[in-house]
């Protein structure tokens, strides 16, 4: 197995988290999640997310040719909001995501290494973007 497996599982987990976020906030439409090479357009008037895999290099975790490899990789989530909306929506979304990707959580054989964390935000012409990183580890068959 490869990091493709990890990407699929962490992507699915994120999509479920966003579904729960939408339900909790009473959103009538699902949030837009734009994936790499996606042709979806971003909404003009509400929060949206972009997700990207953070690929990792495998290294030997167990001895022998049948020993497992350890992958440390992750997910980058850009939480985006139109400028006129401010950062309140972004803070709410970040808090929700961080509460579902905590250090030590395990899902589908993947362990979250550190609670989701934010990096420096950027302002573009018409929207504000704040990156969130989730780092994970998985031991997969060679």
What sections of 29-138 are H helices per DSSP? 88-100
Are 93 and 79 in contact by the 8 Å Cβ rule? The answer is yes
CA distance 132 to 29: 23
> What mean pLDDT is predicted for residues 12-30?
95
Tokens 């690929």: give the residue: 55
Percent of the chain with pLDDT over 70: 99
Is residue 75 exposed (0-12), middle (13-18) or buried (19+ Cβ within 10 Å)? buried
Tokens 């909001």: give the residue: 81
Range with the poorest average pLDDT among 12-21, 61-70, 86-95: 61-70
Instruction: Please report, to the nearest 10 degrees, the dihedral formed by the alpha carbons of residues 59, 7, 40, 20 taken in order.
Output: -140
CA distance 121 to 42: 18
> What mean pLDDT is predicted for residues 96-110?
95
């Amino acid at each position: 197995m490869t990091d493709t497996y990890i990407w699929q599982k962490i992507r699915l987990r994120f999509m479920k988290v966003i579904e729960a976020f939408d339900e909790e906030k009473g959103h009538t439409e699902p949030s837009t999640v734009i994936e790499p090479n996606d042709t979806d357009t971003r909404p003009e008037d509400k929060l949206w997310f972009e997700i990207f895999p953070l690929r990792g290099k495998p290294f030997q975790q167990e001895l022998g040719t049948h020993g497992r490899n350890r992958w440390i990789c992750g997910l980058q989530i850009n939480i985006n909001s139109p400028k006129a909306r401010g950062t309140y929506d972004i803070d709410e979304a970040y808090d929700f995501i961080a509460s579902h990707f905590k250090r030590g959580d395990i899902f589908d054989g993947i362990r979250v290494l550190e609670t989701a964390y934010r990096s420096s935000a950027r302002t573009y012409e018409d929207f504000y973007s704040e990156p969130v990183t989730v780092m994970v580890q998985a031991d997969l068959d060679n």
